[in-house]
Amino acid sequence: QVQVVESGGGLVQAGGSLRLSCSASGLRFDSYSMAWFRQAPGKEREGVSCISKSGTISYYADSVKGRFTISRDNAKNTLILQMNNLKPEDTAMYYCAALFGCVGYDHTPAQVEYWGQGTQVTVSS
């Protein structure tokens, strides 16, 4: 049974940092590209970042480029999103996802194989 579990969300002031983690089990982690999505209240889910199977190629939404860093540890089946200089507009539920390949930073639901349940990030002004 595949499980994808996010952690690390919370409440932070604008300008602060958070580190999201995603742990995956029940799948061959290094066979999947991994991505972060987010969904703010009243808005559609959007792609934030995607990283290749080996971790050598990554993509970012323009809104987070230079502030967020995606990384992975295939030995530990773990995906990380380091978020710095957070802004109130970053407030959203953040989701980890496993997919067969990155096609840029955003993907349709049909391109995602497995979703996590999400972790809430709230940035106060």
- Write the pLDDT tens digit of every residue in 3-44: 999 999 999 999 999 999 999 999 999 999 999 999 999 999
For 37-56, what is the mean pLDDT?
96
- Strand 119-124 with 10-13, pairing: parallel
pLDDT at 23: 98
- 120 C-beta neighbours (distance < 10 Å), count: 12
85 pLDDT more than 90: yes
For 106-116, what is the mean pLDDT?
92
31-68 in b/e burial notation, b at 16+ Cβ within 10 A?
Answer: ebbbbbbbeeeeeebebbbbbebebeebbbbeebeeeb
Distance, CA of 49 to CA of 17 (rounded, Å): 17
| Token reading at 119 | 């972790």
Distance, CA of 33 to CA of 44 (rounded, Å): 22
pLDDT at 109: 86
122 pLDDT more than 90: yes
